[in-house]
A and B are shown apart, each in its own frame.
Chain A
Amino acid sequence: MKKKKIKTNWLYSQTAKEHFLNPKNVLWDEKNYQADGKGTAGNPICGDQMALWIKVDPKNQKIKDCKWRTYGCASAIAATSMLSVMVTEKGGMSVKKALNLKPQQIIKRLGGLPNLKFHCSVLGQAALKEAINDYLKKISSKE
């Protein structure tokens, strides 16, 4: 699809817009993806639901890959996209640090979200937490 920019005020920040229109790390092919942990959050009845998958490097406990899919509004999509970038950039975020990631940090990186949309970034964070816990449960059961 061809894209053109229109010079008008957009509902969200430029960064959020970019992540919404060109989301990073979407999991297009679930079948062939071997995740170490999976988490979901939200509810379609409320208008947003997300699923998030992570791969963790067992040597240093850092997230080396993070994929997701979101049903939701533009800010939910942008927030999940940004979250996936944040946990994988610079060689990956440690699992411990990722567990403590705050929604505010995601919003800040997005250049802000309208107050009403705060919960969109909370959801992504909740899905990530669940994915990490899923991973931790798996490795502890292996041990």
Chain B
Amino acid sequence: MRKIYLDYAATTYIDPRALQKMKPYLTKAYGNASSLYSLGREAKAAIEKSREDIAKILGASSGEIVFTGSGTESANLAIFGIARAYRDYGNHLIVSKIEHKAVLESAKKLEKEGFRVTYLNVDSQGIVKLNELKKALNKKTILVSIMYANNEIGTIQPISKIAEIISNFRKQSAKRKAQSVRDSRFAICDLPVLHTDACQAAGSLSLKIRELGVDLLTLNGSKIYGPKGVGCLYVNKDYKIEPLIVGGNQESGLRAGTENTALIAGFSEALKLAEKLKKRENRRLKTLRDYFIKKVLKIIPGSRLNGHTRKRLPNNINLSFAGIEGESLVLRLDQYGIFASTGSACTSQDLAPSHVLLAIGLPAELAHGSLRLSLGRKTAKRDLDYVLEILPKIVEKLRTMSAIKL
């Protein structure tokens, strides 16, 4: 049977070229990067080369890249790391309501530790409300974390505009402080710090730190045809963070534990390749995406597109079908070899539908009936044509046995 993988936003396969880069460090070059002898130095060199390569893509210096165990860990390190390092300066954080759980749950945890968190609303297409951000910023705000592109609906946030708002706020408060407070601590840094989770954006959007204007940026390997279990956090050298994992001096003391050389080498190679292929893939995927969306909306009555029509990741399709439930849909698609995902409650542990779909104002019923198809390097038009053949039949079948009448 045909197998059509349309869940690239969940994870990707490893590009063979990235895998090739990993292999030596899993076998012959197994040394500990902290060791003094040549076998260790070899591992160390590979890690530092990877760090440089990633820094170059970001337009950062290599000392600003911290390798971690995942995108989730990077986001955790950003949120907890900043909150704990700057808690003397304020206890207020700002995040958007549609962040990945890696950010949201970290913020919630900090709320329990006495921090105050503002959760910014988004509009019906998933763009963060910038006027809410402006209003929420205050002298106690130490961190703003807003994702670059959303993993469920693919909406791309205006990160550089957000950075501009924050930069303006810093300038104003610097002026205020200079006038009122004679506390040298405030001269140390500019607060709040801006973090963005760029896990979904990598491979599609620009990762240039200067263009984005962010201070921290999260990336990982498993969405960019690199290995799972590795990520990195860019931390602007002017800021300090508190580590989450202690017990060694690896990663400048910001992430203890023997480095996984193979994963790091595979990750950096994958990111380099993704950058190289970006332009061509974006063009190809956008065409496929828009072709599919147009067709589905035409063929299937009671269907709608979730997210933004234009400010959208080239590979993201998120649809809702009235009257049916997403888990049933995904499991039936699976029977035809089509692999996709849903924001339905039935796939989550808390039995609540996707927080992202609810945040864009979708009624719970339509959130339950959502389907995410995320395209990737191996997706061809004929795959989408196959889905276009099967999907309407399944939707129709589930609707005829549904207790909800349209």
Contact = CB atoms under 8 A, between A and B. Distances in A.
Interface of A: 1, 3-4, 6, 11, 20-21, 23, 26, 28, 40, 42, 44-51, 68-77, 116-117, 119
The list of the 7 closest CB pairs from A to B, nearest first, reads A73-B346, A73-B327, A71-B402, A45-B364, A51-B403, A47-B368, A47-B345
Given A44-B365, A71-B324, A116 B351 contact: yes
B155 to A, nearest CB: 24
Contact of A74 (B331, B351, B404): B331
A47 B401 contact: no
Given A6-B1, A11-B331, A73-B346, A50 B401 contact: no
Contacts of A3: 335
B345 A116 contact: no
B10 to A, nearest CB: 16
Given A45-B364, A116-B349, A70 B331 contact: no
Contacts of B365: 44-45
B402 A69 contact: yes
- Give chain A's interface secondary structure class: mixed
Q: How large is the interface on B (under 10, 10 to 19, 20 to 34, 35 or more residues)?
A: 20 to 34
B210 interface: no
Contact of A47 (B346, B393, B397): B346
Contact of B337 (A1, A6, A49): A6
A47 B328 contact: no
B344 interface: yes
Given A1-B393, A116-B351, A46 B328 contact: no
A73 B349 CA distance: 14
24 contacts: A6-B334, A26-B401, A28-B400, A42-B403, A44-B365, A44-B368, A45-B365, A46-B345, A46-B364, A47-B344, A47-B345, A48-B325, A49-B404, A51-B403, A69-B401, A70-B401, A71-B323, A71-B403, A71-B404, A73-B327, A74-B331, A77-B328, A77-B401, A117-B346
